[in-house]
Amino acid sequence: MKKTTGFMVKLVVAACFLFIIFLLIADRFVQFRMNDREYKAYFSQKGLSASVGYYQKLHRKIRYAASGSDTSATILFIHGAPSSLSYYRDYMSDSALLQKATMFAVDRAGYGFSGLGKPEPSIEKQVQLIAPIVDSLNKVHHPLIVVGASYGTAIACRLAMDYPNLVDGLVLIAPALAPGEEKVYWFTPAIESPLLSWFIPRMLQSANTEKIHHKEELAKMLPYWSNIKVPVLYLQGANDALVYTTNAKFAQNHLTNVPYLNIEMIPGRGHLIAFSEKDKIEDAIVKMLDLAKLNIAGKLRRDSTIHIAQRENAGEGGNDHKF
Protein backbone atom coordinates (compact mmCIF):
# COMPACT_ATOMS: atom_id res chain seq x y z
CA MET A 1 0.00 0.00 0.00
CA LYS A 2 2.83 2.37 0.94
CA LYS A 3 4.61 1.58 -2.32
CA THR A 4 1.44 2.38 -4.30
CA THR A 5 0.93 5.66 -2.41
CA GLY A 6 4.54 6.65 -2.95
CA PHE A 7 4.27 5.87 -6.63
CA MET A 8 1.11 7.96 -6.96
CA VAL A 9 2.75 10.91 -5.21
CA LYS A 10 5.71 10.73 -7.55
CA LEU A 11 3.37 10.46 -10.51
CA VAL A 12 1.44 13.57 -9.43
CA VAL A 13 4.66 15.51 -8.83
CA ALA A 14 5.98 14.46 -12.23
CA ALA A 15 2.70 15.43 -13.91
CA CYS A 16 2.74 18.84 -12.21
CA PHE A 17 6.34 19.37 -13.25
CA LEU A 18 5.60 18.46 -16.86
CA PHE A 19 2.53 20.72 -16.83
CA ILE A 20 4.61 23.67 -15.62
CA ILE A 21 7.17 22.98 -18.33
CA PHE A 22 4.35 22.89 -20.88
CA LEU A 23 3.05 26.26 -19.66
CA LEU A 24 6.50 27.81 -19.91
CA ILE A 25 6.92 26.47 -23.44
CA ALA A 26 3.43 27.62 -24.43
CA ASP A 27 4.09 31.12 -23.09
CA ARG A 28 7.38 31.19 -24.99
CA PHE A 29 5.92 30.21 -28.36
CA VAL A 30 2.41 31.66 -28.19
CA GLN A 31 3.55 35.28 -28.42
CA PHE A 32 3.15 36.28 -32.08
CA ARG A 33 6.12 38.62 -31.84
CA MET A 34 9.61 39.08 -33.24
CA ASN A 35 12.40 40.60 -31.20
CA ASP A 36 14.35 43.58 -32.52
CA ARG A 37 17.05 41.44 -34.11
CA GLU A 38 14.59 39.09 -35.78
CA TYR A 39 12.49 41.97 -37.07
CA LYS A 40 15.44 43.79 -38.62
CA ALA A 41 16.75 40.53 -40.09
CA TYR A 42 13.40 39.94 -41.79
CA PHE A 43 13.78 43.23 -43.65
CA SER A 44 17.49 42.67 -44.30
CA GLN A 45 16.70 39.39 -46.08
CA LYS A 46 14.61 41.44 -48.51
CA GLY A 47 17.36 43.97 -49.05
CA LEU A 48 15.50 46.53 -46.93
CA SER A 49 16.06 48.24 -43.62
CA ALA A 50 13.81 48.88 -40.66
CA SER A 51 14.34 50.62 -37.36
CA VAL A 52 12.97 49.69 -33.95
CA GLY A 53 12.63 52.10 -31.06
CA TYR A 54 11.12 52.54 -27.61
CA TYR A 55 9.61 55.42 -25.66
CA GLN A 56 8.05 55.97 -22.24
CA LYS A 57 4.46 57.11 -21.77
CA LEU A 58 2.16 56.85 -18.74
CA HIS A 59 4.85 54.87 -16.91
CA ARG A 60 4.90 52.28 -19.68
CA LYS A 61 7.55 51.30 -22.20
CA ILE A 62 6.17 51.15 -25.74
CA ARG A 63 7.93 49.64 -28.76
CA TYR A 64 7.49 50.78 -32.34
CA ALA A 65 9.02 50.02 -35.72
CA ALA A 66 9.53 52.17 -38.80
CA SER A 67 10.37 51.57 -42.45
CA GLY A 68 10.65 53.69 -45.57
CA SER A 69 11.93 57.20 -46.09
CA ASP A 70 9.35 58.81 -48.36
CA THR A 71 8.34 62.03 -46.61
CA SER A 72 5.23 62.71 -48.69
CA ALA A 73 2.97 60.65 -46.42
CA THR A 74 2.90 58.46 -43.30
CA ILE A 75 1.06 55.23 -42.55
CA LEU A 76 0.55 54.07 -38.96
CA PHE A 77 -0.47 50.42 -38.43
CA ILE A 78 -2.34 49.37 -35.26
CA HIS A 79 -2.72 45.64 -34.63
CA GLY A 80 -5.59 43.71 -33.06
CA ALA A 81 -5.68 41.06 -30.33
CA PRO A 82 -3.76 38.90 -29.87
CA SER A 83 -0.97 40.20 -32.07
CA SER A 84 2.01 42.56 -32.27
CA LEU A 85 3.61 44.99 -34.70
CA SER A 86 5.09 41.96 -36.49
CA TYR A 87 1.57 41.36 -37.85
CA TYR A 88 2.22 44.10 -40.43
CA ARG A 89 5.76 43.18 -41.45
CA ASP A 90 4.72 42.19 -44.98
CA TYR A 91 2.97 45.53 -45.44
CA MET A 92 5.86 47.54 -44.06
CA SER A 93 8.25 45.75 -46.40
CA ASP A 94 6.04 46.06 -49.48
CA SER A 95 7.78 47.86 -52.32
CA ALA A 96 4.64 49.64 -53.57
CA LEU A 97 3.89 51.12 -50.15
CA LEU A 98 7.54 51.98 -49.49
CA GLN A 99 7.50 54.15 -52.60
CA LYS A 100 4.59 56.18 -51.26
CA ALA A 101 5.07 56.63 -47.52
CA THR A 102 7.06 56.23 -44.35
CA MET A 103 5.45 53.51 -42.25
CA PHE A 104 5.18 52.93 -38.53
CA ALA A 105 3.76 50.07 -36.47
CA VAL A 106 3.42 49.86 -32.71
CA ASP A 107 3.26 47.11 -30.11
CA ARG A 108 0.12 48.00 -28.20
CA ALA A 109 0.26 47.83 -24.39
CA GLY A 110 0.28 44.20 -23.30
CA TYR A 111 1.61 42.80 -26.58
CA GLY A 112 4.92 42.25 -28.32
CA PHE A 113 7.58 44.05 -26.31
CA SER A 114 5.29 46.66 -24.77
CA GLY A 115 4.79 44.84 -21.48
CA LEU A 116 3.62 41.43 -22.68
CA GLY A 117 0.76 40.22 -20.49
CA LYS A 118 0.11 43.64 -18.94
CA PRO A 119 -2.73 45.08 -21.07
CA GLU A 120 -4.44 48.45 -20.93
CA PRO A 121 -8.22 47.88 -21.14
CA SER A 122 -9.01 51.57 -21.67
CA ILE A 123 -9.16 52.48 -25.37
CA GLU A 124 -8.70 56.15 -24.47
CA LYS A 125 -5.47 55.37 -22.58
CA GLN A 126 -4.27 53.13 -25.40
CA VAL A 127 -4.60 56.11 -27.72
CA GLN A 128 -2.62 58.21 -25.26
CA LEU A 129 0.10 55.54 -25.31
CA ILE A 130 0.27 55.63 -29.11
CA ALA A 131 -0.06 59.43 -29.42
CA PRO A 132 3.68 60.18 -29.06
CA ILE A 133 4.29 58.59 -32.47
CA VAL A 134 1.64 60.81 -34.04
CA ASP A 135 2.77 63.91 -32.16
CA SER A 136 6.39 63.37 -33.17
CA LEU A 137 5.45 63.55 -36.85
CA ASN A 138 3.82 66.94 -36.35
CA LYS A 139 2.46 66.76 -39.89
CA VAL A 140 5.95 66.61 -41.36
CA HIS A 141 4.96 63.48 -43.26
CA HIS A 142 1.64 64.65 -44.61
CA PRO A 143 -0.94 63.09 -44.83
CA LEU A 144 -1.12 60.60 -41.95
CA ILE A 145 -3.16 57.45 -42.66
CA VAL A 146 -4.05 55.12 -39.77
CA VAL A 147 -4.66 51.45 -40.57
CA GLY A 148 -6.28 49.29 -37.91
CA ALA A 149 -7.22 45.61 -37.85
CA SER A 150 -9.91 44.03 -35.65
CA TYR A 151 -9.55 45.48 -32.12
CA GLY A 152 -7.05 47.95 -33.53
CA THR A 153 -9.79 49.62 -35.60
CA ALA A 154 -11.48 50.96 -32.46
CA ILE A 155 -8.17 52.45 -31.35
CA ALA A 156 -7.61 53.92 -34.82
CA CYS A 157 -11.05 55.54 -34.70
CA ARG A 158 -10.51 56.85 -31.19
CA LEU A 159 -7.22 58.32 -32.35
CA ALA A 160 -9.09 60.19 -35.10
CA MET A 161 -11.68 61.33 -32.55
CA ASP A 162 -9.14 62.63 -30.04
CA TYR A 163 -6.59 63.99 -32.56
CA PRO A 164 -8.75 65.27 -35.44
CA ASN A 165 -6.04 67.65 -36.64
CA LEU A 166 -3.42 64.93 -36.98
CA VAL A 167 -5.23 62.01 -38.65
CA ASP A 168 -6.10 62.38 -42.35
CA GLY A 169 -7.63 59.01 -43.22
CA LEU A 170 -8.70 55.64 -41.81
CA VAL A 171 -8.45 52.15 -43.29
CA LEU A 172 -10.44 49.74 -41.12
CA ILE A 173 -9.85 46.01 -41.55
CA ALA A 174 -12.41 43.59 -40.03
CA PRO A 175 -13.58 46.40 -37.74
CA ALA A 176 -14.80 45.84 -34.18
CA LEU A 177 -16.68 49.10 -33.59
CA ALA A 178 -20.18 48.38 -32.30
CA PRO A 179 -20.60 47.58 -28.59
CA GLY A 180 -21.47 43.91 -28.16
CA GLU A 181 -21.33 43.01 -31.86
CA GLU A 182 -18.51 40.47 -31.62
CA LYS A 183 -18.12 36.89 -30.49
CA VAL A 184 -17.42 36.35 -26.79
CA TYR A 185 -16.59 32.80 -25.75
CA TRP A 186 -18.25 31.24 -22.71
CA PHE A 187 -14.87 30.72 -21.02
CA THR A 188 -13.70 34.32 -21.46
CA PRO A 189 -14.85 35.57 -18.01
CA ALA A 190 -13.42 32.49 -16.26
CA ILE A 191 -9.95 33.03 -17.72
CA GLU A 192 -9.87 36.46 -16.08
CA SER A 193 -9.76 34.85 -12.62
CA PRO A 194 -6.29 35.00 -10.97
CA LEU A 195 -6.11 31.22 -10.62
CA LEU A 196 -6.86 30.36 -14.25
CA SER A 197 -5.01 33.30 -15.78
CA TRP A 198 -1.75 31.88 -14.43
CA PHE A 199 -2.14 28.96 -16.82
CA ILE A 200 -2.73 31.11 -19.92
CA PRO A 201 0.08 32.49 -22.12
CA ARG A 202 0.61 36.20 -21.43
CA MET A 203 -0.39 37.32 -24.90
CA LEU A 204 -3.73 35.53 -24.59
CA GLN A 205 -4.19 37.03 -21.12
CA SER A 206 -3.94 40.50 -22.67
CA ALA A 207 -6.43 39.61 -25.40
CA ASN A 208 -8.84 38.14 -22.88
CA THR A 209 -8.72 41.20 -20.62
CA GLU A 210 -9.41 43.47 -23.58
CA LYS A 211 -12.29 41.26 -24.67
CA ILE A 212 -13.86 41.47 -21.20
CA HIS A 213 -13.85 45.28 -21.29
CA HIS A 214 -14.39 45.87 -25.01
CA LYS A 215 -18.16 46.36 -24.95
CA GLU A 216 -18.04 49.02 -22.25
CA GLU A 217 -15.03 50.71 -23.85
CA LEU A 218 -16.78 50.92 -27.21
CA ALA A 219 -19.86 52.32 -25.48
CA LYS A 220 -17.72 55.15 -24.12
CA MET A 221 -16.93 56.14 -27.71
CA LEU A 222 -20.57 56.54 -28.76
CA PRO A 223 -20.76 60.34 -28.17
CA TYR A 224 -17.66 61.04 -30.25
CA TRP A 225 -18.24 59.42 -33.64
CA SER A 226 -19.24 62.76 -35.13
CA ASN A 227 -15.68 63.97 -34.42
CA ILE A 228 -14.35 61.83 -37.27
CA LYS A 229 -14.22 64.00 -40.38
CA VAL A 230 -11.73 62.17 -42.60
CA PRO A 231 -12.20 59.63 -45.41
CA VAL A 232 -12.85 56.06 -44.26
CA LEU A 233 -12.41 52.74 -46.07
CA TYR A 234 -14.05 49.78 -44.33
CA LEU A 235 -13.24 46.20 -45.37
CA GLN A 236 -14.61 43.01 -43.82
CA GLY A 237 -15.07 39.38 -44.75
CA ALA A 238 -18.71 38.50 -45.35
CA ASN A 239 -18.15 35.28 -43.36
CA ASP A 240 -16.48 36.95 -40.38
CA ALA A 241 -17.39 34.81 -37.35
CA LEU A 242 -15.42 36.80 -34.76
CA VAL A 243 -16.61 40.34 -35.46
CA TYR A 244 -20.20 40.38 -36.65
CA THR A 245 -20.94 42.01 -39.97
CA THR A 246 -23.52 44.23 -38.25
CA ASN A 247 -20.51 46.41 -37.47
CA ALA A 248 -20.80 47.66 -41.05
CA LYS A 249 -24.28 49.02 -40.43
CA PHE A 250 -23.01 50.62 -37.22
CA ALA A 251 -20.24 52.34 -39.18
CA GLN A 252 -22.70 53.55 -41.79
CA ASN A 253 -25.00 55.00 -39.11
CA HIS A 254 -22.31 56.63 -36.98
CA LEU A 255 -19.71 57.90 -39.45
CA THR A 256 -22.04 60.67 -40.51
CA ASN A 257 -19.50 63.49 -40.77
CA VAL A 258 -16.91 61.78 -42.93
CA PRO A 259 -16.45 63.18 -46.45
CA TYR A 260 -16.01 59.73 -47.97
CA LEU A 261 -17.09 56.29 -46.75
CA ASN A 262 -16.70 53.01 -48.62
CA ILE A 263 -17.85 49.79 -46.97
CA GLU A 264 -16.82 46.59 -48.73
CA MET A 265 -17.93 43.16 -47.59
CA ILE A 266 -15.67 40.56 -49.20
CA PRO A 267 -17.49 37.35 -50.27
CA GLY A 268 -16.29 34.04 -48.85
CA ARG A 269 -13.78 35.56 -46.44
CA GLY A 270 -13.58 35.43 -42.65
CA HIS A 271 -11.86 37.58 -40.07
CA LEU A 272 -8.22 37.38 -41.18
CA ILE A 273 -8.51 39.33 -44.43
CA ALA A 274 -5.30 41.20 -43.62
CA PHE A 275 -3.60 37.96 -44.70
CA SER A 276 -6.04 36.43 -47.17
CA GLU A 277 -6.72 39.70 -49.01
CA LYS A 278 -3.36 41.45 -48.67
CA ASP A 279 -3.42 42.85 -52.21
CA LYS A 280 -6.91 44.28 -51.70
CA ILE A 281 -5.87 45.86 -48.40
CA GLU A 282 -2.79 47.40 -49.98
CA ASP A 283 -4.91 48.81 -52.79
CA ALA A 284 -7.19 50.35 -50.17
CA ILE A 285 -4.22 51.95 -48.39
CA VAL A 286 -2.92 53.44 -51.64
CA LYS A 287 -6.41 54.67 -52.46
CA MET A 288 -6.69 56.27 -49.03
CA LEU A 289 -3.45 58.15 -49.57
CA ASP A 290 -5.00 59.72 -52.66
CA LEU A 291 -8.33 60.39 -50.93
CA ALA A 292 -6.62 62.06 -47.98
CA LYS A 293 -4.62 64.35 -50.24
CA LEU A 294 -7.78 65.34 -52.11
CA ASN A 295 -9.58 65.98 -48.83
CA ILE A 296 -6.74 68.14 -47.51
CA ALA A 297 -6.88 70.15 -50.73
CA GLY A 298 -10.66 70.53 -50.39
CA LYS A 299 -11.26 68.63 -53.63
CA LEU A 300 -12.79 65.41 -52.30
CA ARG A 301 -16.37 64.92 -53.44
CA ARG A 302 -18.59 63.64 -50.63
CA ASP A 303 -19.51 60.03 -51.28
CA SER A 304 -20.83 57.07 -49.35
CA THR A 305 -20.64 53.73 -51.12
CA ILE A 306 -21.75 50.44 -49.60
CA HIS A 307 -20.79 47.14 -51.22
CA ILE A 308 -22.82 44.41 -49.51
CA ALA A 309 -21.93 40.77 -50.11
CA GLN A 310 -24.25 38.06 -48.86
CA ARG A 311 -22.82 35.49 -46.51
CA GLU A 312 -21.44 32.38 -48.19
CA ASN A 313 -20.85 28.89 -46.78
CA ALA A 314 -22.60 29.69 -43.51
CA GLY A 315 -21.36 26.50 -41.98
CA GLU A 316 -17.75 27.48 -42.56
CA GLY A 317 -17.12 30.54 -40.52
CA GLY A 318 -20.21 32.61 -41.33
CA ASN A 319 -22.29 34.35 -38.68
CA ASP A 320 -25.98 35.05 -38.33
CA HIS A 321 -25.50 38.76 -37.67
CA LYS A 322 -25.86 40.03 -41.21
CA PHE A 323 -25.41 43.59 -42.33
What letter would DSSP give residue 243? Answer: B
Work out the average pLDDT over 189-211: 70
Separation between Cα atoms, residue 303 and residue 231, nearest integer Å? 9
pLDDT tens per residue across span 34-53: 999 999 999 999 999 999 99
Per DSSP, the residues of 71-94 read TT-EEEEE--SS--GGGGHHHHT-
Work out the average pLDDT over 143-150: 95
pLDDT of 306: 63
pLDDT of 83: 84
User: Which residues neighbour 238 within 8 Å (Cβ) at sequence distance 6 or greater?
Assistant: 245, 265, 266, 267, 268, 269, 309, 310, 311, 312, 318
58 HSE (CA, 13 A, CB side) = 16
Per DSSP, the residues of 172-231 read EES---STT-B---TTHHHHTSHHHHTTS-HHHHHHHHHHHHHHHHHHHTGGGGGG--S-
Superfamily the domain 35-307 falls into: Alpha/Beta hydrolase fold, catalytic domain (3.40.50.1820)
The pTM assigned to this predicted structure is 0.85
Separation between Cα atoms, residue 19 and residue 30, nearest integer Å? 16
**320 pLDDT more than 50:** no
Work out the average pLDDT over 280-288: 97
Starting at the edge strand found earlier in the chain, the sheet holding 50-57 runs 50-57, 60-67, 102-106, 74-78, 144-149, 169-173, 232-237, 260-266, 303-307
Work out the average pLDDT over 265-284: 95
pLDDT tier for residue 12 given thresholds of 50, 70 and 90: low
| Main-chain dihedrals φ then ψ at residue 303, nearest 5 degrees | -155, 145
Q: Which of 7-11, 21-25, 68-72 tops mean pLDDT? A: 68-72
Task: Return the domain boundaries, the chain.
Answer: 1-30, 35-307
Separation between Cα atoms, residue 11 and residue 180, nearest integer Å? 45
